[in-house]
Amino acid sequence: MQLLHVLIFGMVEGITEFLPISSTGHLMLTAKLLQISQTEFIKSFEITIQLGAILSVVVLYWGRFIKSWEIWKRLLVAFIPTVLIGVLLYKTIKRYFLGNNEVVLWSLFIGGLFLIIFELLHREKKDAVEELFNVSYPQALIIGLFQSVAMIPGVSRAAATIIGGLAVGLKRKTIVEFSFLLAVPTMLAATALDLFKSAQVFKSEQLVYLGAGFGISFLVAIIAIKFLLAFIKRHSFISFGVYRIIIALGFWFILK
């Protein structure tokens, strides 16, 4: 792995973490294009640089939401399914799912179809939840269950939580911001768990790569967050579903 690769990975992570297109899937496909083997370090690198993107949420939302205990209580409820399933299935997911391009491509394709169909059928109710602190605990728990499906590479944590939030009656901007904030405890836990289990085998040069990827993804993610918030004011998520299908078909052609 070279510093140029770190730059590319950091940019891909920053762009894709909060869009409903799967950052993990894109990182794995990027590794395939760059002909970088899915070693244990690369798998950990792909998990860890996501933390840089998550830091952008803390910076952007600190004044408005991060300091609100009422919102944090709802985020913690939504976080419960992911942490329970994640701890139980960590080894299985990392061994059999991460690095499996076929799983990623099928997840991107099926997820794209589901996103399009859902958007065509979904109608936002007039009484849809507009404020984050008005999200009920049952709604938060259901959103968390949706998020747990995103442990499968290619599903997209953002897409799963957004669909879950829309399904239980949240407004678009509300669930998008809830998804941003829910990423904070989720990715903190995922990164901490992975580093705890793997950090002792990293070389000093690899730690430099982790730091560089972290910083790049942080800067690019700030731009991506602002883009998505502006985008959803006028558009649905159908275009992201179409993109997922195209990228899946394109990589199927390239990898065959």
Whole-number pLDDT of residue 216:
92
Cβ(241)–Cβ(113) under 8 Å?
yes
For residue 25, give the nearest of 134, 157, 127 by alpha carbon: 157
**pLDDT (0 to 100) of residue 230:** 93
As for how many domains the chain has, the answer is 1
Percent of the chain residues topping a pLDDT of 70 = 88
161-187: average pLDDT: 91
The pLDDT, as a whole number, for residue 98 is 67
Q: Residue 141: in which H helix or E strand, if any? A: helix 137-148
Report pLDDT for 16.
93
Residue written as tokens 């997209």? 156
Residue 171 token pair? 């407004």
> Per mean pLDDT, which range of 14-28, 36-50, 103-117, 158-172 is the poorest?
36-50
Q: What is the DSSP string of 144-191?
A: HHHHHGGGSTTS-HHHHHHHHHHHTTB-HHHHHHHHHHHHHHHHHHHH
For residue 122, is pLDDT > 70?
A: yes
- For the chain, the average pLDDT equals 86
144 vs 40, higher pLDDT: 144
Per-range mean pLDDT, top range of 50-54, 60-64, 241-245: 241-245
Domain of 36? 3-255
Confidence of residue 118 (pLDDT cuts 50, 70, 90): very high
Q: In this predicted structure, which of 76-80, 199-203, 226-230 has the lowest mean pLDDT?
A: 199-203
What is the per-residue pLDDT across 131-171, written as a single tens digit (0 to 9) for each? 998 999 999 999 999 998 888 888 898 999 999 999 999 99
Predicted local confidence at residue 94, as pLDDT: 67
What digits encode the pLDDT tens for the residues 77-117? 999 998 888 778 767 776 766 667 888 899 999 999 999 99
pLDDT of residue 36: 82
Where is average pLDDT lowest: 172-176, 239-243, 250-254? 250-254
Q: Is the dihedral of CA 222, 234, 182, 128 positive or negative?
A: positive
For residue 254, count other CB atoms closer than 10 A to its CB. Answer: 10
User: CA 151 to CA 88: how far, in whole Å?
Assistant: 12
**pLDDT at residue 196, as a whole number:** 67
The pLDDT score that the predictor gives to residue 204 is: 66
